[in-house]
Amino acid sequence: MLDTHCIKIRQSLVAGILCSIFVLPAAGQAEEIYLDADRPTEERVEDLLGRMTLEEKVAQLRIFHSSNLINLNDDGQLVFSEKIKDRLHLGVAGIKNPGANYSAEQSALLNNQLQQYIIENTRLHIPALFVIEAYHGVEAKGCTVFGRPISLASTWNVDLVKEVWDSVGREARLRGLHMCHSPEADIVRDPRFGRMSEAYGEDTHLTTEMVVAAVTGVQGDYTGLGAGTHIGAVVKHFAGYGQVQGGRNFASIEISPRVLIDEIFPPFKAGIQRGKALGVMASHGDLNGVASHANAELLTGVLRDQWGFEGYTVSDANDIARLHIFMNVAETPEDAAMMALEAGMDIDLYSETAYALLPELVNEHPDLVEYIDRSVRRVLRTKFVLGLFDQPYIDVSKVRKNVRSPESLELAQRADLESIILLKNNANTLPLTAESETTVALLGPLVSGNALAAFEEVAGDKFEFIAEKGFELTDRNRSAPKLLVTDEAVFEAQVELAREADVAVLYFGGDEYTSKEAYFLDGNIGDRDSINPVGAQDELLRRVKALGKPVVVVLKHRRTLSINEIAKQADAIVDSWELSEFGDQAIAKIVMGEVSPSEKLPVTVPVSIGQMPIHYSQKAINFRKGYLFTENGPLFCFGHGLSYTTFEYGKLVLSDTELSEGEELTVQIDVTNTGDRTAKEVVQLYVKDKVGSVTRPDKELKGFQKLEFKPGETKTVSFVIQPEQLAFTGKDMLTGVEPGAFEVFVGTSSMENQSAIFYFK
């Protein structure tokens, strides 16, 4: 039987009305500056650092996973093993996922008790960081489930995304959590990559604005950290992890220095400088052959010296040890630990064979103490910024009212409605209308159990719905799922239901088994060498289309798919990526016309994987030639998205045809809603450098505005272009603006727009 240690908590703690246990020293004792909330943070850090033993310092550089080893018993008391007790006796930087499998209230109770134990049973009473992930809201039981980042990117609504992350930050802190290993600032341009939906798409500018919104939201504009209302963000994966070769998790990364600076770094830099992110997680991969976890130029030169980052860096899971066992850049585990520490890696996530070795290593390498102190300062500073020394506990009485609050649930639904993209709508197939009773069949492997109820709730009495999932795509094995063969009888049953209906709505795409993270464990895969829809989806579409009835396809997916057959056969395509827990209602509202779609693609949709790379902002010379036997260009371009109304763009007007350093240029255009519905439109601004000292992108997104228009309403949309928006890394590897002609484009997508020329002098 497991040897456990049970913590009995004070009644006041159970009630959640808590005060700090820290007290000022008695007369005659040395003043404990670090316990004085009125002293500057840096003084408190230095005072505490000076009191710590080497072993206590190293403990502040390690995070372990709670797994299922930290629990509550039936009496609501904290229970954990002697192994956990041993891990905590010197303190700890943090613990991952404590209480994640409990309700929010239970999590708060668990984390209060866990924090109290750590504080009361360590010599210097240093609180721990409790850490979580946040891919679609707080990754823990009982929190609001929001759409995934790629869905939020489809909103092109920075304010809305910040609202979502603000809710995430509040719910996490109420659980007793302090940091999240989110958001991802990676640029994702290869849909073979199973983690595509964790990021914000292919474009640098769109991703940058989304990352800043996420960081400022989850951190409560930074002031929410010390106030105890929000949590800190850990921006990841630094840097370039979305560019893994072949789209394979853990593969190498090949990025030119110029692309790295101009396209990959900006979201990270903005997350740090504009968002004030507290943490940065390093990439599994390498840059120019140098493993990111041992890259001093990256972790210290760029992050600290150039960008002024003051927070802490944390390894991706076990990646410091993997410098030896996987990357093969360190001869021994000891070498791996020293390489990472000296490069600027502050916290070792999970490993028992990396920073755990540091106390012994100091005996042979006393100069390591300087690096250990450097990293400990950063961890302690974060804990002071979060106010953990002064208010380490959660008021449990506030949890029930404020986690999954009506406001958060409404926000999730509102975000869904701004995340669904109308890709195709031949002959105004959508929204569905009926003059008499119309039967709609909801069919396909991505139909959820809530779809029928959602449509019945949204639609009027003139509609009747039938729903049948029919078949699964895979055997749903979490490590290495296998595709299933669809029985002919299942096909016939689906076709028969479509035959009985007036309209067929087919739910196609993929799910968490067809696109997922490929963990390091052997046999765990999640990337694909094809991006065609898996299984028998195209065949079912062809058979249903042959019935001669309107066919609507609803796409649910985590990676870009080459939906050629769908684009050819479907009368309308609704792209939802992966929405919140209320996604079915949002899809029903869009399909039935309660809301007009307003969203745009955050990626380019290729015809086939053979076109990769296909992102719109490639070098202009890449678009010179196409491929034999294939129509040139994408299936759907970046920024594309239709509406139930129409928008007319007037003439593009520039305030001047010349721009100089220290000046700005205004771009204006009139946009009119020429339809009979109120709807939103994303007006997009792109710029092309006509001639550069190095080959330049075909065009780059530099601004966007999402605006609502009433029927017949005209709005003048203005953008300001400043010289720094035109800067790039030139032939001399210096960043600046080169004189010459620039073309500015404004329109409804990266391919549908108007343009004008101006000159930078």
Block residue for tokens 């799922």 = 481
The interaxial angle of helices 368-385 and 41-51, nearest 10 deg, is 130
Phi (first) and psi of residue 163, to 5 degrees: -60, -45
User: Where do runs of H (alpha helix) occur along 34-137?
Assistant: 41-51, 54-59, 82-88, 104-120
What is the distance between the alpha carbons of residues 672 and 713, in angstroms, rounded to a whole number? 6
- Evaluate if residue 3 carries a pLDDT over 50: no
Rounded (10°) CA dihedral 315, 318, 321, 325? -130
Closest by Cα among 84, 89, 129, 115 to 9: 115
Q: What is each CA distance from 711 to 420, 500, 644, 645, 746, in whole angstroms?
A: 21, 37, 11, 8, 21
- In the chain, domain spans: 4-27+35-402, 424-603, 647-760
CB atoms within 10 A of CB 6: 11
At residue 28, the pLDDT reads 42
* Contact in structure between 245 and 251 (CB atoms under 8 Å): yes
Q: What is the pLDDT of residues 701-713, one digit of tens each?
A: 999 999 999 999 9
Tell me the backbone φ, ψ of residue 175, rounded to 5 degrees: -80, -5
Query: What's the fold here for domain 424-603?
Result: Rossmann fold (3.40.50)
Mean pLDDT of the residues in the chain: 94
pLDDT at 30: 67
- Written as one letter, the residue type at 296 is A
Instruction: Identify whether the C-beta of residue 214 lies closer than 8 Å to the C-beta of residue 231.
Output: no
Quickly name the fold that domain 4-27+35-402 has: TIM Barrel (3.20.20)
The pLDDT score that the predictor gives to residue 519 is 87
Q: Residue written as tokens 């800190």?
A: 232
Average pLDDT of span 372-390: 98
The pLDDT score that the predictor gives to residue 523 is 83
For residues 659 and 723, the answer to whether their CB atoms sit within 8 Å is yes
Residues 732-740: contacts with CB under 8 Å, at least 24 apart? 732/693, 733/257, 733/258, 735/261, 735/262, 737/661, 738/689, 738/692, 738/693, 740/689, 740/690, 740/691, 740/692
- The answer to whether 149 and 210 have CB atoms below 8 angstroms apart is yes
pTM of the predicted protein model: 0.95
Q: Which residue has 């800043």 as its token pair? A: 212
| Range name among 19-23, 405-409, 539-543 with the lowest pLDDT average | 19-23
Between the alpha carbon of residue 346 and those of residues 106, 146, 179, 184, 279, the distances in Å are: 31, 31, 15, 19, 10
Average pLDDT over residues 231-259: 95
Determine contact, residues 476/513, Cβ cutoff 8 Å. Answer: yes
DSSP 251-299: --B---HHHIIIIIHHHHHHHHHTT--SEEEEPSSEETTEEGGG-HIII
Q: How high is the pLDDT of residue 13?
A: 46
CA 180: distance to chain centroid? 11
What are the tokens at 456? 């019945």
Q: Tens of pLDDT along 518-533? A: 988 778 999 999 999 9
pLDDT digits (tens, 9 = 90+) for 10-48: 434 444 434 444 444 444 456 899 999 999 999 999 999
Place of tokens 């709609």: 440
Percent helix, strand and coil across the chain, each rounded to 5? 35, 20, 45
| Chain segment 686-745, per-residue pLDDT in tens | 999 999 999 999 999 999 999 999 999 999 999 999 999 999 999 999 999 999 999 999
Query: Could you write out the three-class secondary structure of 651-714?
Result: CCEECCCEECCCCCEEEEEEEEECCCCCEEEEEEEEEEECCCCCCCECCEEEEEEEEEECCCCE
Inform me whether the pLDDT recorded for 7 exceeds 60.
no
Contact, 621 vs 491, CB < 8 A? Answer: no
Where are any strands of DSSP class E within 541-638?
551-556, 572-575
- For 647-760, the fitting CATH number among 1.25.40.10, 2.60.40.10, 1.10.10.60, 3.40.720.10 is 2.60.40.10
Q: Residue 198's pLDDT is what?
A: 96
Nearest to 520 by CA among 242, 281, 234, 285: 285
Say how far apart CA 558 and CA 538 lie, in whole Å: 18
Do 617 and 610 meet the contact criterion of CB atoms below 8 Å apart?
A: no
pLDDT confidence of residue 26: 41
Mean pLDDT over residues 533-541, rounded? 96
- Which one, of 309, 176, 316, 160, lies nearest residue 236 by Cα? 316
Helix (H) or strand (E) holding 744: strand 740-747
Phi/psi region, residue 349 (left: phi>0; alpha: psi -120 to 50; beta: rest), is beta
HSE at residue 606, side-chain half, CA atoms within 13 A, is 22
pLDDT above 60 for 265: yes
pLDDT at residue 54 in the model:
98
Instruction: Count other C-beta atoms under 10 Å from residue 426's C-beta.
Output: 11
CA 25 to chain centre: 45
Task: Dihedral sign for Cα 17, 21, 26, 28, please.
Answer: negative
pLDDT surpasses 70 at 316: yes
Q: Are β-strands 735-736 and 728-729 bridged in parallel, bridged antiparallel, or unpaired?
A: antiparallel
Q: Which residue has the tokens 């902002």?
A: 617
